[in-house]
Every structure is written in structure tokens, then in C-alpha cells.
Amino acid sequence: MSVEDLQRYESEVELDLYRQYREVVGMFRHVVETERRFYLANDVDIQVRSTDGGEVFFEVLLRDVWVWDMYRQGRFARSVRILTFKDVNVEDLPPGDNAPA
């Protein structure tokens, strides 16, 4: 497989993922963005935690989730738990919103 073939394949997968997103975004109430992933979720719980050394991190629990990840076969999950030292961005979607985030 050539580099061009690989780039074409990744572009097609990314476009397909965007189309899937457009189909499901209206089913969710929140957009959640971390440094590594993008999620749609209906329930978001964020807890601020700290290590024994005093570093702050976030524990994020998402329920009823769709994961933007082109390498996952199944994008829907009942729940997702995220641990991160970076900020988490959560946006509320208007009911029935179909606009890209």
C-alpha cells in the first residue's frame, strides 16, 4: 500500500466518521472534548481529584456515549471513564441540534 493509498483511506474513514456524527448528534445533550478524544454524551460527571503529590487531575464519567475515533469499530458505549491532567471542555447541545461542534 502506497502513502497516497493510506492517505486516501484515512480521508475516506474520516469523512465516514463525520457523516456518522451528523446522524447521531441530535441524540445527545453534551459535547465533551479532551486532549485525546471527542465524545457525545447524555450525562457528564466531572470530579476534580488530586494526587498525593498535590497534582490536580480530572475524573470524567460519561454515560450513553458516542466516541469520535476512526479506529474503533463500535462507537457507542454505555459508559466511559476518563482520567486526565488536562482540561475537559463540555458544551451543552440544544435539543435536536444537528450542527457540527
C-alpha span between 68 and 28 (Å, rounded): 13
**CA distances to 6, 33, 60 from 25, in Å:** 28, 14, 20
Record the cell numbers describing residue 101, joined without a space.
Answer: 461542534
In a domain, 96, yes or no: no
Identify residue 14 by its one-letter amino acid code: E
Q: Model confidence over 58-88: pLDDT tens digits?
A: 999 999 999 998 888 889 999 999 999 998 9
Residue type, 99: A
Strand order in the sheet with 56-68: 76-84, 56-68, 38-50, 30-33, 89-92
Considering its fold, how many domains does the chain have in total? 1
The amino acid at 17: L
Q: How confident is the model at residue 10 (pLDDT cuts 50, 70, 90)?
A: confident
Establish if 95 belongs to a structural domain: no
- pLDDT tops 50 at residue 101: no
Residue 98 falls inside a structural domain = no
Question: Is 97 within the bounds of a domain?
Answer: no
Within a domain: 100: no
The predicted-structure confidence for 32-55, as pLDDT tens digits, reads as follows 999 889 999 999 999 999 999 999
Continuous H helices in 3-91: 3-24
Identify the domain containing residue 69 by its residue range: 3-90
Confidence of residue 95 (pLDDT cuts 50, 70, 90): confident
- Examine residue 101 and state whether it is found in any structural domain, yes or no: no
